[in-house]
Amino acid sequence: MLKIAVYPGSFDPITNGHLDIIRRAAKMFDRVIVSVAINAEKTPLFSLRERVVLARDAVKGFKNVTVDEFGGLLVSYARRKRAAVLVRGLRAVSDFEFEFQLALMNRKLDPGIETIFLMTKDEYTFISSRQVKEICRMGGNVSDFVPRGVERAMKRKFASKRSV
Ligand code: ADP
């Protein structure tokens, strides 16, 4: 049976931290589905479509990774995709409490689906989409934190916001 994992998140936008988690998951599973949440934080910088396109471009080098979008209950979505594993990334102790609650709740909702946590290379552990957006918005260099396509898209987005 194929081992399929779902890696859910807002991916607003996808960063090198996310990509490091994806690289690790792609080695462990036959198929990894990067699943972009429809109901991300209330006002994401990028639309769902933009987040999916940027993620797709970033993972095109991985043969067994695809990008999809999802809404509603994550465990129901994972079932539909025949995935028995949810992948989440852990950066620091500060992520732990939230992730722990989420994993236990998902296990309660569907005991057949396991959550696994992966850690990035230490140089990526401090990267978050939120901080990267903030740095880029203020004109800082984000080329070490996100793929080139994402950097370009963010610069365009902030330039267009400034001109309105
Ligand atoms: P969410 O809004 O669901 O937290 P994110 O897109 O921010 O979505 O993150 C998706 C997952 O990737 C989460 O488990 C998050 O902790 C993890 N993650 C994000 N950035 C990093 C990073 N730099 N290193 C490790 N894990 C990360």
CATH label of the domain that carries residue 48: 3.40.50.620
Question: Does the Cβ of 44 fall within 6 Å of ligand 1?
Answer: no
**Active-site annotation holds for 161:** no
**Active-site annotation holds for 91:** yes
Q: Which domain holds residue 102?
A: 4-162
- Using the mean position of ligand 1's atoms as its centre, give its distance from the Cα of residue 15 in Å: 9
How much is the pTM?
0.94
- Using the mean position of ligand 1's atoms as its centre, give its distance from the Cα of residue 24 in Å: 14
The three-point CA angle 2-17-45 to 5° equals: 105
Query: Taking each helix axis from N to C terminus, what angle separates 148-163 and 129-137, rounded to the nearest 10 degrees?
Result: 50
Q: Is the pLDDT of residue 75 over 70?
A: yes
| pLDDT of amino acid 18 | 97
Round to whole Å and give the CA distance between 124 and 51. Answer: 20
Higher pLDDT among residues 161 and 6, named by residue:
6
Q: Is the pLDDT of residue 3 over 70?
A: yes
Q: What percent of the chain lies above the pLDDT cut of 70?
A: 98
**Active-site annotation holds for 121:** no
Number of domains in the chain: 1
